[in-house]
Amino acid sequence: MFDQFVPRITAATNAIINITTGGSVSMTLDDRLAYPLRAAPDLCSLNMGSMNFAFHKAGRGIADWKYPWEHGHIAGSEAQIFRNTFADIKSVLARLGDAHGTRFEFECYDVGHLHNLKHFVDEGLVKGPLFIQCVLGILGGLNADPENLFLMRATADRLFGRENYAFSVLGAGRHQMPLVTMGAIMGGQVRVGLEDSLFLGRGQLAPNCAAQVLKIRRILEELSLEIATPDEARAILQTKGADRVRFNG
C-alpha cells in the first residue's frame, strides 16, 4: 500500500517522509515494520509505550454510518490496547535504527513515556539529538490542557537537557492549531494533518492536509518564526539524507 503513494510524494518534493511503525492494534510488530525495513526511511515514528488508545466517544450520536465496518471499528477502540513493550521498542531501535540509520520521532502520549525514553538513553540504545513528539488529547494519554504541554516540556528539560532534544506538538481534534502554536512559541516544531484533526477552524472541515499546513505556516510567519527548508529540517533532526532512502524500491 505504501508503494502506491510514497514514490509519488518522493518524486514531487525533497521533504522528509516520516513512516509510521505504529500501524494498527491488529498488526504484529513484523507487520508494522515490513515497509520501514524495506524502505529504510530518514525518519520513523516510534510510540514510547503500550497504552489504551480509545476514540469510541467519537461515535456517539451517529445513527447513519457510511460503511459497515465503521461502527465496530470506532466502538471497539474502548476495548483495545496499543502494544509497544520495552522489548518491542528495543527491537525497533535495533532492526531499523542501528541496521538502517533511521532516526525516530519518539511519540510520547504521557509523562511516563518520557521516562521510558530516558531508560533507552541510559541503556545506550538511543543517541541524541532526540526528536520528541508530545501527543496531547488522546483518550488514554494526557489530555490537551495547555498546562500538560508545559509539564511535558519541563519534564523533558529535566530528563534530557533542553539542548539535547528537539520537540514537536500534536494536538488532537479542535486543540490542533492552538496547541501547536503554543509549542512553536515555546521553541518547538509543529505537526498538523487530517490524522490529528478533520477541521480547519470551528465547524469548518479541512478540504485536505495542505490547507492545515498553509494555515499554520501563516500563523507562524505572523509570529515572525521561520519555516525550515527540507535540508534545514534534516540538519535539525540529523537524519541520514534522502540519498540513503529506498522509497523507489
**Domain for residue 149, yes or no?**
yes
pLDDT digits (tens, 9 = 90+) for 40-58: 999 999 999 999 999 999 9
**Domain for residue 25, yes or no?**
yes
pLDDT of residue 249: 61
**Domain for residue 56, yes or no?**
no
**Domain for residue 205, yes or no?**
no
**Domain for residue 237, yes or no?**
yes
Q: What integer best gives the mean pLDDT of the chain?
A: 96
Residue 45 lies in domain: 2-49+84-177+229-244
Q: For residue 91, give the CATH number of its domain.
A: 3.20.20.70
**Domain for residue 162, yes or no?**
yes
CA–CA separation, 126 and 98 (whole Å)? 9
Comparing C-alpha atoms, which of 243, 238, 249 is closest to residue 166? 238
**Domain for residue 182, yes or no?**
no
Cβ neighbours, 10 Å, residue 238: 12
pLDDT of residue 248: 81
- 30: Cβ contacts below 8 Å, ≥ 6 apart: none
**Domain for residue 138, yes or no?**
yes
pLDDT digits (tens, 9 = 90+) for 90-149: 999 999 999 999 999 999 999 999 999 999 999 999 998 999 999 999 999 999 999 999
CA angle 31, 135, 23 (to 5 degrees): 10
The number of distinct structural domains making up the chain is 1
pLDDT digits (tens, 9 = 90+) for 68-86: 999 999 999 999 999 999 9
